[in-house]
Amino acid sequence: MKKLRAWLNFGVLLGYALPVMTWFYFISHFRTHPFEASLRDHCRRLFTLLGVKVIVKGNLQPLHRNSVIIMPNHISYLDLPLLFGFLKVPMCGLEHYRHFHYPLFGKIISRIGNIPVDRRNPLQSFKAADKLKNVSPDRQVVIFPEAGRSRDGVLRSLKRMPFQIAKIIDRPILPCYVYGMSDVNTKQSPFIFPGEIVIFVRPLVEIETVRHAELDELKDKVASELSFAPFVRTPSKS
């Protein structure tokens, strides 16, 4: 039954997401359209259609009172639509430069302010960080600190570059632990299964800590928040 639903969800992606992306590609050319608010609504609707229940827990006040760097764990290509739709704040981030060449998708991520980066090129990464300095204080920045997507939901080692960037753009860090995504979708499979995902907004790493802590200290602090284990039972897979 779950495999059948996964195939149905594949049809949902083609039947819903593709026309929606086409629509947003066209309206991205019109600056007066409430582009991001509408896109967030469609991201949330997509998860509902996929049979994925999403719960947000934790203190959301830093998202509305501070200019922060959101640092989540990374498992699926659904992670960014998940955060964009359910945290409900304007956001942008560093995006692999090749993604900007994808039909439809490239224009959409460009419109919301994502910045292309080649993570294999440290100099280019620092140039991208300089561009992040100019991001509006009203817009949150998303950076995935792991060295790629996890295959099984277990946190991978964190890179130093995201924490160097945090110091450069002088923003506090808000770790967000996404729990349950590995039951819905992983790097190894295009299939999306119904289930339950919880976004845990963890305590803010204050700006003074970001400014004065060593990079390894920051890494360890964020890694501990992204290894948060809140449940005795796993989320429902039905």
DSSP 20-87: HHHHHHHHTT-TTS-HHHHHHHHHHHHHHHTTEEEEEEE--HHHHHS--EEEE----TTHHHHHHHHS
Each residue of 178-196: pLDDT tens digit? 999 999 998 888 899 999 9
Task: Report whether pLDDT(235) > 50.
Answer: no
Could you tell me whether strands 195-201 and 173-179 are parallel, antiparallel, or unpaired per DSSP bridges? antiparallel
Which amino acid is located at 43 in the chain?
C
pTM for this prediction: 0.90
Helix (H, G, I), strand (E, B) or coil at 146: strand
Question: What does the pLDDT average to over 192-206?
Answer: 95
Each residue of 206-228: pLDDT tens digit? 999 999 999 999 999 999 999 87
CA 21 centroid distance within chain: 18
Each residue of 129-173: pLDDT tens digit? 888 989 999 999 999 999 889 888 889 999 999 999 999 999 999
pLDDT for 227:
85
Which amino acid is located at 119 in the chain?
R
pLDDT band at 121 (very low <50, low <70, confident <90, very high): confident
pLDDT for 232:
39
Question: What does the pLDDT average to over 33-60?
Answer: 94
Percent pLDDT > 70 in the chain is 95
Question: What does the pLDDT average to over 93-114?
Answer: 91
The DSSP secondary structure of 188-199, one letter per residue, reads T-S----EEEEE
pLDDT for 231:
52
Rounded distance, CA 137 to CA 143, Å? 16
Rounded distance, CA 185 to CA 177, Å? 16
Question: What does the pLDDT average to over 26-41?
Answer: 86
pLDDT for 237:
45
The angle formed by the CA atoms of residues 148, 149 and 154, to the nearest 5 degrees, is: 115
**Mean pLDDT score of the chain:** 89
pLDDT band at 20 (very low <50, low <70, confident <90, very high): very high
Domains, the chain, ranges and CATH? 2-225 (3.40.1130.10)
Task: Report whether pLDDT(238) > 50.
Answer: no
Contact between 175 and 202 (Cβ < 8 Å) = yes
Rounded distance, CA 170 to CA 207, Å? 7
